[in-house]
Chain A
Amino acid sequence: MDPKLTEVSQYFERFKAACVREDIDTSANLLSQLKVLLTSFRSLPPLFEVTPNAVQELTIARDIYEHAVLLSVKMGDQDAFERDFFQLKPYYTDARKRLPRSPQEHMILGLNLLRLLVQNRIAEFHTELELLPAESLEDPCIKHAVELEQSFMEGAYNRVLTAKQTVPNQSYDYFMDLLAKTVRDEIAGCSEKAYDFLSINDARQMLLFSSDNELLKYINEEHPEWEIKDGSVIFQKAKETAPCKEIPSLQLINQTLSYARELERIV
């Protein structure tokens, strides 16, 4: 085998061992060294040259990036995740014909979709979804993300929270926790508009706190305008937006001026 390839494989083995040990620092170091070594291979994107060792090089590079992505999830670093995922993507799309399918492909794609959902980048979520062929949508990891997005859009937040139990993979937990926090904020926002008041018990159940104190702390920090009286939370419905009877004069003036200008042009 090519000496460079052997070197890379050895480093890769050490990297994998460090990941399993949950040794974040060594893994990160080894990863940067591996990335530097990978630049010497000419068969990788963006060059995609055809060399005798192309398939092995591509496979090793892809495995390295997959592990990098999983590592970034463990570190909780979303930017690193994005970077590594973008580097991994050409291996899935352009090099599809040259390599056999990776077993972790769907899991990683599902992770990416989940990340976009958590960051509220729904347009990119859908664009990514379009790129997937129809049969990928049957895969449990991807299906999980898609159903999650649907429940989120519809507003069935309790479904979102129960989905937390049915994660296909350990690494999803990090994003699910972030999602839970977003969901809680959303529920609070909806409840504000939908209910006049809620008893403390109900509020606690809805917002998924385990004790009244946590609930009170949350309200104090995030929603100071809610009042707490007689064991119930009253949302500020009293300050209803007084139907503003004022005429939006500036807008009207602009519109009328534009009509006059256009009419002038019609000669």
Chain B
Amino acid sequence: MKETPAPVAASSNSATSAAHLKEIASLIETGAYAREVRRIARAIRLTMALRRKLKTSVVSAFLNFALTPGSEPHARLSSYLPKEDDHEMEVDTATSVVQAPVKHSLPELEIFSYLLVLIFLIDQKKYSEAKACSSASIARLKNINRRTVDVLASRLYFYYSLSYEHTGDLAEIRGNLLALHQIATLRHDELGQETLLNLLLRNYLHYNLYDQAEKLRSKAPRFEAHSNQQFCRYLFYLGKIRTIQLEYTDAKESLLQAARKAPIAALGFRIQCTKWAVIVRLLLGEIPERTVFMQKGMETALRPYFELTNAVRIGDLELFKSVAEKFSATFSVDRTHNLIVRLRHNVIRTGLRNISISYSRISLADVAKKLRLDSPNPVADAESIVSKAIRDGAIDATIDHAKGWMVSKETGDIYSTNEPQMAFNSRIAFCLNMHNEAVRALRFPPNSHKEKEIAEKRRERQQQEQELAKHIAEEDDDEF
């Protein structure tokens, strides 16, 4: 007895998904005819919302609807779908409304079907089929040169790279990605260029080829970002490259911006950005606040980094070493291990700074003991470390070699220097920058100034204007 409700419920679900897909398909058609890329972008967004509910039956039903059955694309795509035998579905789909044969076989619809099948396969974790499907779609894409397809194409590139990454064959497609990038540049397909550049950077960074990634990035043409997600990704990859190249200030800016611009739902991405941002800030010598680690959903993931920050803040080498060992597995997975090793130097600096502020005069032997430098000759080590720190301007002190102690200098009044002014300036510049970017990001619907007002709307508008005029007149009267 339970059988019948379940298939009915399932079939109704699949019926609604199928209906949604048909709506999306019609949206794409209208978009293609009117040459409005916006509609196609919206179609894609709606599809993403549908992802969970996709099933083989739904997908094959859609393929039947969108592409002429028996045609070559249809046959190819259906071959990728796993064969499921759900007989009850058959009945339902057969009785679904027979639509008029509107099979112009728009290239957009074809590419969209490729995309749908690919998403479905990846969600089902059938990566080898996904690989084959995506390679076929890329081959098909090379022949189509329409702006309306660009949005769909960029999504396809992304899933192409994703399917190869899951099977561990990223290096194979590097040549293809480069060729695609070239084609996209020739066709002035800016969204495609952006997506492909990010995919290439991801490819290089996956294999730790930071040098080549930087060379590509510096030579690739840059322009205003079209997609927020791609821009976030680009910033993240840029931040990573800069960190490895020891340019911490630039890295910090990029990583923090990426973490801020990312949508709230992209938790994994934000966690990664935050992890790298924390390490870069530690390397720069500043300690991130506790609230950074307490953000919703990120607490467990960021726990190792929290303990690390603690060790750096205290300036205790022993603690730092134990934390690094305890969480070494996490750090190797995040590939931040080498950066953590660089942090040792910062721990010593912070420790020194604390000592210098607290003591006006302290013997070098005591300094060595406090820093817990484990070396055969701690006092000599401590002396050279302190002298280098003084030279770099980290602490303000002098060493008296004969008597073997370190004398700290008085710290002057900060307000009499230019420091506050610099800080103010950087903040003002940041706010102004933000304002400019927001203004530039304002978008207006493209044809609104061309729309002819329908008579009714005109009447309405005139009425409103009259009312407003009367209101103002009344106000003026009131004044007198």
Contacts and interface: CB of A to CB of B under 8 A. Distances in A.
A215 B316 CA distance: 38
B381 to A, nearest CB: 5
A233 B372 CA distance: 32
A99 interface: no
A257 interface: no
A7 interface: no
Contacts of A238: none
Contacts of A193: 387, 390-391
Interface in B337-356: 337-338, 341-342, 344-345, 348
Interface string A89-131: 0000000000000000000000000000000001110110111
Contact of A194 (B377, B381, B386, B402): B386
A194 B399 contact: yes
A266 B400 CA distance: 58
B435 interface: yes
Contact of B398 (A130, A134, A194, A243): A194
B244 A127 contact: yes
B375 interface: yes
Contacts of A157: 384, 388
Interface string A241-267: 001000010001001001100100110
A130 B208 contact: yes
Interface in B189-218: 208-211
B271 interface: no
B380 interface: yes
Given A126-B246, A159-B381, A154 B337 contact: no
A155 interface: yes
B244 A130 contact: yes
B385 A126 contact: no
Contacts of A190: 384, 387-388, 390-391
A134 B333 CA distance: 11
Contact of B338 (A129, A155, A194, A262): A129
A191 interface: yes
Contacts of A126: 244-246, 338, 342
User: B341, B387, B425, B436 — which one has the most chain A CB atoms within 10 A of its CB?
Assistant: B387
Interface string A128-171: 01110010000000000010001001111111000000000000
B418 interface: yes
Interface string B208-237: 111100000000000000000000000000
Interface stretch (A23-31, A53-61, A196-204): A196-204
A202 B402 contact: yes
A146 B398 CA distance: 30
A195 B210 contact: no
B401 interface: yes
A146 B337 CA distance: 13
Contact of B210 (A127, A198, A258): A127
Interface in B360-397: 373, 375, 377, 380-381, 384-391, 397
Interface string B141-181: 00000000000000000000000000000000000000000
Interface in B393-418: 397-402, 412, 418
Nearest to B375: A159
B454 interface: no
Interface string A175-198: 000000000001101111111101
6 contacts: A123-B245, A123-B246, A130-B338, A157-B388, A193-B390, A195-B400
A186 B432 CA distance: 42
A251 to B, nearest CB: 9
Given A156-B375, A190-B390, 18 more contacts: A126-B338, A130-B338, A150-B344, A154-B345, A155-B389, A158-B380, A158-B384, A159-B375, A191-B387, A192-B391, A193-B387, A194-B398, A194-B399, A195-B399, A196-B400, A199-B402, A202-B402, A262-B435
